[in-house]
Amino acid sequence: MSRNRLLQQYIQEGRKPVLLVVDDQPINIRAINEVFKDEFNVLMATNGRSGLQKAREQQPDLILLDIVMPEMDGYEVCQQLSLDPLTTDIPVIFVTAETEANVEARGFEVGAVDFITKPFNPLIVRARVMTHLTLKLQMDIMKDMALIDGLTGLANRRRFDQALLGDWNLCQREQKPVALLMLDVDYFKRYNDSYGHLAGDECLKSIARALQTSVRRTSDICCRYGGEEFACLLPFTDKEGATLCADHVIGAVKQLNIAHKSSDIAPHVTVSIGIAVRTPHTDVQIEQLIQEADEALYASKQNGRNQFTVYRAPPIKVVSET
């Protein structure tokens, strides 16, 4: 896809590229803004620390970074960007009046992808920015494809693992609960045996769509966890919110009304759900949330399926001294 078509597609989808300009001279920022204001959302920072903060919070698609700045120069900013998991993939183009070879060499060492010399030519600035932006957007598309389940279109297990770690750390910082729903299609092997694997694939696709209609917040994520098992990750969600979501999921799957003549509990396809809710802290491991959701899912199956169960920690045994 050409860079112009790629940019047009992003704009049509409401994803206008974001450009962050970090320069201690406002006149330079204004000049760059004039070049890109019609096609980009242009963010501005007049010092290195502010630039780092905006890069972490706003996640721009590309950064134009001045080298010579007071307190924190562009080299240090670029190095910190490359070391931070949140910003390491954002391409950085240095904008500088320096022309010595050692300046460029050091810039590439700390993570820059290109250089633009001051005073800059708007056509050259635009051409270089568009080249690296296109590469960045293409890489983003490839990464997204690698994190999507090919059958259902939901996030895959790898994407789930990434999201769980990120949400766990975020909720730990905010001291807010994170909820996990583990879902399993009831008697799915029997369904495949009765209707065939192609029908089984269509069944899983329909359930994936039902999940997406039931879990609507942009911060939530639904994924195909494996086989006929799905997971829904709900940050900033307590037990009440998680059970409400699980109830919606069960209702949405029921409304699909997919015939299942081999089920022991209903004439249509149903799901069982296990719910675990934790407020992360240093004494709780992230794996514990998954284990608890699994145990709650097992309880739903043992208690008759087509229902949800909230994990409850077993009571602590008190041993009296004799």
Known catalytic residues are 228
- Does the N-terminal peptide bond of residue 280 adopt cis geometry, omega within 30 degrees of 0? no
Residue 268 tokens, joined? 């249509």
Residue in the block written with tokens 């112009």: 4
Nearest partner of 308 among 278, 276, 273, 259, judged by Cα: 273
C-alpha atoms less than 13 angstroms from C-alpha of 90 in its C-beta half-sphere: 32
Q: Which residues of 55-72 are buried (b: 16+ CB within 10 A; e: fewer)?
A: beeeebbbbbbbbebeeb
Give Cα separations from 308 to 59, 231, 248, 265 (angstroms): 37, 13, 11, 14
Phi-psi domain of 254 (left: phi exceeds 0; alpha: psi -120 through 50; beta: other):
alpha
CA distance 173 to 291: 22
CA distance 292 to 306: 19
Residue 151 tokens, joined? 């059958």
Residue 102 tokens, joined? 């050692």
Helix orientation angle between 74-83 and 101-110, rounded to the nearest 10 degrees: 30
Residue 169 tokens, joined? 């750390």
Question: What burial class does residue 123 get, using C-beta atoms within 10 Å of its C-beta: 0-12 exposed, 13-18 middle, 19+ buried?
Answer: exposed
